[in-house]
């Protein structure tokens, strides 16, 4: 592949990543908008749901955001009774997060739309494409 074609391919990949992400976030964004929530709220719900009892410090590391950036959305989720915070039994300084039943329901609704979408497109693309996509996404995530 020559340099010009390679750049064209890379630009096409960039555009498809952008358009794919837009399609991937469309349904959850509409659900979140009904509650005056945004994508950071969704990420918090997702990772707290995937790792019940996650500490605030660990969540900050996973999301790669500052305490200041997490404070308002997390507080909002707690005020809406979607996320609960408790003191860790092993260390009183550690705050652990879990989803409430309402939080689990909302997270399942949000992620459910995306799981369905991925199931459909992976089914259409085939196993080899799915494996290649996962490999590319892992490498992209690790490149930061």
| Nearest to 84, CA basis, from 52, 120, 116, 110 | 52
pLDDT for the residue numbered 4 = 65
Domain-wise residue ranges, the chain: 3-115
Give the tens place of pLDDT for each residue, 68-107: 999 999 999 999 999 999 998 888 899 999 999 999 999 9
- Per CATH, the number for 3-115 is 1.10.10.10
pLDDT for the residue numbered 144 = 73
pLDDT for the residue numbered 2 = 67
pLDDT for the residue numbered 1 = 57
Which H or E run contains 85?
Answer: strand 83-87
Residues of the chain with pLDDT under 50: none
């Amino acid at each position: 592949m020559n340099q010009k074609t390679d750049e064209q391919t890379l630009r096409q990949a960039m555009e498809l990543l952008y358009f794919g992400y837009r399609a991937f976030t469309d349904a959850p964004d509409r659900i979140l908008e009904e509650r005056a929530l945004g994508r950071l709220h969704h990420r918090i719900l997702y990772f707290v749901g995937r790792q019940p009892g996650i500490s605030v410090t660990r969540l900050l590391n996973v999301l790669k955001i500052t305490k200041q950036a997490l404070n308002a959305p997390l507080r909002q989720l707690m005020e809406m009774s979607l996320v609960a915070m408790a003191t860790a039994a092993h260390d009183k300084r550690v705050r652990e997060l879990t989803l409430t039943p309402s939080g689990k329901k909302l997270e399942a609704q949000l992620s459910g739309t995306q799981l369905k979408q991925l199931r459909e497109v992976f089914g259409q693309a085939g196993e080899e494409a799915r494996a290649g996509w996962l490999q590319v996404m892992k490498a992209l995530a690790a490149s930061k």
